[in-house]
Amino acid sequence: MNAKYVLTSRCLDQGVLFLTYSLRQHLAGLEQVRFVDEEGEGYEARVNWGLGVVEGLGPYFTKKRLQPNEVLLLSFQKEVVRIEALSRGRGRRSHLEASAQKGPRSASKEEADREADSKSESAPSAGPGLGLEGNPKKVVRVTPYPREVLFPQGARPTPPAVTEDLARLGFLFTEGGPPWVYQAHLGRRTLLLALLRHGEEGDLAPWRAKGALAATLAPESLRQEVEEPLLTPEGLKRLLALKARFPISALDLERLLKEGRLDLESVEALEDRLALELAGRGAFASLLLLLAKHRMGEVFLLSDLEAEALEEGLLPETVRQGVETLAQPPFVLLKRLSPGEFLLQQEVEVALDELASFAQTLKARLRRVEGPA
């Protein structure tokens, strides 16, 4: 499988490839990847899903002296990716390439011209604008580099500090601006989120036109000064803290932003609603949502599920108790194959439908047994 990638100045500055849709498909499930270039030299790279980049390609970019708009051909072979520079962007040619095409005679003539220019520039001037022989002095015009080339760090702002927190909710960084754009893949739905830090120059209107969630990122101290929709880092952290007790997903972030604000006050109100809806069963509901990410017929280890749940804020003890419950009637969602090994016998949604049907049947039976009051 092959894919083409067009380099940007941000790729070259950071030594990364941004995870485009094609790269996400080819690298799905991988954390470490080995890139092999045209000469067979290898580069160990890391897929940073949180920041939405493949890190560690700076040495290759430097070696090939790549520039913006140049095209890379990527050939995917599991954990190995063949990488090849296809073009030279704006038709750039190195000095060695140009000399080789002109031939040895032209190269010698160029060398002689450079030597003559050097002597004339070092000789004392015989008059304003004249050399010793009265010839006009050669003027060399130099076009300065753009500021962003000379000072890339100053010209390239970094992504917001909330990027890692957003990744825990399923929003992965896809492109940087400002605005800063994130994607959350939810099966048949994909949520787009565009953020603009308070005081940052940028336009959210084009992203709103695409149907993306668009909000201003500002601290709680500026909450009253910023127009809605608003997202505060403090509110986002509070939302993530709820994942330890309640089933929280990217859809909750979507709902809060559509209501106008994701801040401490709105998250506290959500917490109150969830407490009423789920009472003491929030952690169990979170475990069911975690199992819903697995396929029916999949075999997994309890230790792996505990590690996966820990990232969602669920304690290992909660997972062990929940798994034991789900392996027994009336659920029978899981089947124990061996100590610490389980089979997912049904899709979670189907199991809940059957449980609801069982509850309705049992209620009807109770009415018949109890009879009229």
Q: Which of 65, 85, 105 is the last residue of a domain?
A: 85
The SS3 of residue 123 is coil
Cα within 13 Å of Cα(334), Cβ side: 26
Does residue 296 form part of some domain?
yes
Residues 356 and 288 in one domain: yes
How high is the pLDDT of residue 239? 92
Quick check: 264 and 231 in contact, CB under 8 A? no
Q: Are residues 184 and 259 in the same domain?
A: yes
Same domain, 173 and 273: yes
Q: Report how far residue 175's alpha carbon sits from residue 324's, in angstroms, rounded to the nearest whole number.
A: 43
232 plus 312 within the same structural domain: no
Residues 42-58 pLDDT 10s: 999 999 887 888 999 99
Chain-wide mean pLDDT for the chain? 79
**Tens digits of residue pLDDT in 296-347:** 888 989 988 888 887 667 788 888 989 999 998 888 899 999 999 999 998 8
**Amino acid in the structure at residue 337:** L
pLDDT at 61: 92
pLDDT tens digits, 100-121: 444 444 444 444 444 444 444 4
Closest CA to 344 of 302, 267, 291: 291
Domain residue limits at 18: 2-85
Query: What predicted TM-score, i.e. pTM, was given to this entire model?
Result: 0.42
- The angle formed by the CA atoms of residues 270, 287 and 345, to the nearest 5 degrees, is 140
Strand order in the sheet with 341-344: 299-301, 341-344, 334-338
Residue 192 scores a pLDDT above 90: yes
pLDDT digits (tens, 9 = 90+) for 303-316: 888 888 876 677 88
C-alpha dihedral (30, 36, 42, 48), degrees to nearest 10: -30
So what's the pLDDT on residue 295? 85
For the sheet with 32-36, list strands across it: 2-6, 71-77, 80-85, 32-36, 42-48, 53-55, 16-18
